[in-house]
Chain A
Amino acid sequence: MDELSPDTAARQSWLSLLAKAPAVRLAELMPPDLPAHEWLRRPEVGAVMVQGRTGATGSPFNLGEMTVTRCALRLADGTVGHGYVQGRDGAHATRVALVDALMQTARADCVRADVLAPLQAHATATAAARAAKAAATKVSFFTLARGED
């Protein structure tokens, strides 16, 4: 399951990026002329049990659940899009599924440039801002006086 083809790995990557993107940001970036779709699975809210590992590396244990919303839709040409997102936002899941479907059509390059690239930039910038604040709180020890001197 971990050996993915390049196409599958790319899809995995955009679905993960879309799921983690702020819902408001994705809504702003959605392309204007969205295709019609029919539902294979209307947005539904559920839970996923998050697991940790004993001692960080040992056997799994159940840490607690998180809310997740999922949906699946089909475009007129038969392309199927899936949306799985953290939280309870059906509109976010729907947008993810629409972008997932569009990324499998001829519009992929446009969507990549107009939606995925700005989301990736946003994610990178957010993570970098947090890391930079953390780095500023890193302790640099220096020796005041050595006991044996």
Chain B
Amino acid sequence: MYVAVKGGERAIDAAHAWLAEERRGDLSVDELSTRQIEEQLTLAVNRVMAEGSLYDRELAALAIKQSRGDLIEAIFLIRAYRTTLPRFGSSRPVDTGEMACIRRISATFKDAPGGQVLGPTFDYTHRLLDFKLLAEGDVAPAPVAQATPGPVPHITEFLNKDGLIEDQPHDDTQPNDLTREPLELPADRALRLQALTRGDEGFVLGMAYSTQRGYGRTHAFVGELRIGLCPVSLDIPELGFAIELGEVELTECETVNQFKGSKTEPPQFTRGYGLVFGQSERKAISMSLVDRALRWRELGEDNVGAPAQDAEFVLYHCDNIQATGFLEHIKLPHYVDFQAELELIRRLRAEATANATANATATALASTDMNEAAE
């Protein structure tokens, strides 16, 4: 069957022109600059960088502006842009032990060396709307105090010294990259972590929450959560040494999980790990819980059939760009497919009607025969 496929251009052009006008909104209201988005919608920028899998604040802000604040659309724009960039190489793994922390808390050790540093957090706010923000106003400068110079030690290392937590031995095996080769199962932990760190925050949060509610419970404590800047080093072949190209803000979460021991491992604490671009602590905590749940096989735990233990389920559904691409495509023209479905339904109905008529006739004839026989 021939179906017209042209004729939408004028409508599409008009739709996009209207979109641009709607994006700008009321002309009597000042236009939003990308610098304002970068500085004042920082956590949205962070989310777009993390799930767009590209650390560039200005581009993330531009994507948020272009997408009218639809963050998944913004992430889509960033993912599309990053495919146009040549890859200069892979950095040396960032050393989060050297992080210049602005926040560092532990839910397991009150008096951990380095202390509990709250940083610019929403925690302990009352979640009451602050009507002062409706009016413009100056902000009082934040208080300062004498800082202790030098890096802050990782809290899990204290447990590691006593052998109470599984060791995380240093290793330089280069990881596979799911932006270069399609994700195949079974996926090793490095690939799982890459998928989770760029995965949808809502999805990863839901999966993590399901483990807390009992679907593959792992009894997680936040051993440490830290946020801060880490330098990124790249080996430069033409120079013969590595230089620090810049700094990225990262959120790292290490969970300490109860573990009764298995046939191969003594009773000890185990680890879940989350590391995410930007200040994204809900995501980092969620990532570490899901990472831990997915480790059931290597730790010799039972698969209780929980969704968060199912690597295929988690890894193939956590990417919001893949998900939204497949989901939203069903709104695009499917006229030919639907014509075929329509034809099929009509034929089945016609057949069903014909059968019903034939059956009714046969039944009527049969009953006539029986009546005749009885008579």
A47-B87 contact in complex given A1-B242, A64-B197, A65-B54, C-beta closer than 8 Å = yes
State whether the Cβ of B101 lies closer than 8 Å to any Cβ in chain A: yes
A66 to B146: give the CA distance in the assembly, Å: 33
A53 touches which of B56, B86, B93, B242 (Cβ 8 Å): B93
Docked-complex contact A68 and B118, CB < 8 angstroms: no
Docked-complex contact A46 and B172, CB < 8 angstroms: no
B193 touches which of A46, A61, A84 (Cβ 8 Å): A61
Contacting A at CB under 8 A, from B41-56, are 49-50, 53-56
A57 to B244: give the CA distance in the assembly, Å: 20
Docked-complex contact A67 and B85, CB < 8 angstroms: yes
State whether the Cβ of A70 lies closer than 8 Å to any Cβ in chain B: yes
B236: nearest chain-A partner, CB-CB: A84
Contacting A at CB under 8 A, from B191-241, are 191, 193-194, 197-198, 231-232, 234-236, 238-241
Q: Mark B90-125, 1 if CB is under 8 A from A, else 0.
A: 111111110011110000001100011111110000
B191: nearest chain-A partner, CB-CB: A61
B57: nearest chain-A partner, CB-CB: A87
Interface size on A, residues (CB 8 A): 56
A45: nearest chain-B partner, CB-CB: B85
B168 touches which of A54, A86, A139, A141 (Cβ 8 Å): A54
A16-B85 contact in complex given A49-B177, A57-B170, C-beta closer than 8 Å = no
Contacting B at CB under 8 A, from A115-137, are 127-137
A35 to B88: give the CA distance in the assembly, Å: 28
State whether the Cβ of B277 lies closer than 8 Å to any Cβ in chain A: yes
Docked-complex contact B232 and A48, CB < 8 angstroms: yes
State whether the Cβ of A85 lies closer than 8 Å to any Cβ in chain B: yes
A87-B56 contact in complex given A47-B85, A133-B142, C-beta closer than 8 Å = yes
A96 → chain B closest CB, angstroms: 10
Docked-complex contact B244 and A58, CB < 8 angstroms: no
A104 to B243: give the CA distance in the assembly, Å: 17
A86 to B245: give the CA distance in the assembly, Å: 6
Q: Mark B261-281, 1 if CB is under 8 A from A, else 0.
A: 000000000010101010000
Docked-complex contact B144 and A133, CB < 8 angstroms: yes
Docked-complex contact A46 and B90, CB < 8 angstroms: no
A134-B193 contact in complex given A53-B93, A57-B168, A86-B246, C-beta closer than 8 Å = no
Interface size on B, residues (CB 8 A): 86
Docked-complex contact A136 and B142, CB < 8 angstroms: yes
Docked-complex contact B54 and A66, CB < 8 angstroms: yes
A135-B117 contact in complex given A60-B173, A64-B54, C-beta closer than 8 Å = yes
Residues of A near B148 (CB, < 8 A) are 135
A46 to B88: give the CA distance in the assembly, Å: 6
A50 to B53: give the CA distance in the assembly, Å: 10
A137: nearest chain-B partner, CB-CB: B118
B208 → chain A closest CB, angstroms: 17
B93 touches which of A52, A88, A135 (Cβ 8 Å): A52
A67 to B62: give the CA distance in the assembly, Å: 15
Docked-complex contact A8 and B241, CB < 8 angstroms: yes
State whether the Cβ of B349 lies closer than 8 Å to any Cβ in chain A: no
Residues of A near B275 (CB, < 8 A) are 52, 63
A56-B145 contact in complex given A64-B54, A66-B55, C-beta closer than 8 Å = no
A62-B56 contact in complex given A48-B88, A72-B238, A138-B115, C-beta closer than 8 Å = no
State whether the Cβ of A105 lies closer than 8 Å to any Cβ in chain B: no
Taking each of A45, A57, A138, A141, which has the highest tally of chain B beta carbons within 10 Å of its own beta carbon? A57
Q: Which residues in A have some Cβ–Cβ distance to B below 8 Å? A: 1, 4, 8, 11-12, 15-16, 19-20, 44-68, 70, 72, 82, 84-88, 127-139, 141
Beyond the given A52-B197, A129-B144, could you list 9 further A-B residue pairs with CB under 8 A, ordered by the A residue number?
Answer: A47-B88, A52-B96, A53-B93, A54-B189, A64-B197, A66-B246, A134-B101, A136-B143, A139-B116
A–B pairs, 8, beta carbons within 8 Å = A57-B154, A67-B85, A88-B56, A88-B58, A128-B147, A132-B144, A132-B147, A141-B111
